Amino acid sequence: MKITAFNPQIITRNGEEIIRLFEALGFEKRHDQEGIGELNVEGIRMKDANGFYLDISQPDLPLQRDVTAIRMNVDDFDAAYQLLLSHGFKNYYVDRINETPTAKSALMIAPSGFSINLVQHIRK
């Protein structure tokens, strides 16, 4: 398994407020995709002049508060998912994997509480 991207991610119901904050810090929107998977996620990717990335995700879920995670893209979702499970991580969505024709993802929670949003982009 190879990690292909690794950056912070904020999962929220208030994306516009967070976008404005990070724009004030010098980040620009690079990518905005709506209606991702069964969770109907809006995904916003931002980048600053130094090359730092931030992802903001707005799922169609009743979140009580924002979740800060590490987005980790990999080339083998199943291997990474099993590795995280073997280290005690739990899938936030229980056994549900968010799948689209172009990606698989799952929000994994560590025993200590930090989160990794595991993603594999599927190239055809």
pTM over cut 0.85: no
pLDDT in tens, 37-66: 565 567 899 999 999 999 998 877 778 899
**Block residue for tokens 């005690």:** 88
Q: Exposed, middle or buried, 122 (CB in 10 Å: 0-12/13-18/19+)?
A: exposed
Non-local CB neighbours of 2 within 8 Å, separated by 6+ positions: 74, 75, 76
pLDDT in tens, 71-122: 999 999 999 999 999 999 999 888 888 888 888 999 999 999 999 999 998 8
Which among 56, 34, 54, 35 is positioned nearest to 44, based on CA atoms?
Answer: 56
Rounded CA separation 91/13 (Å): 20
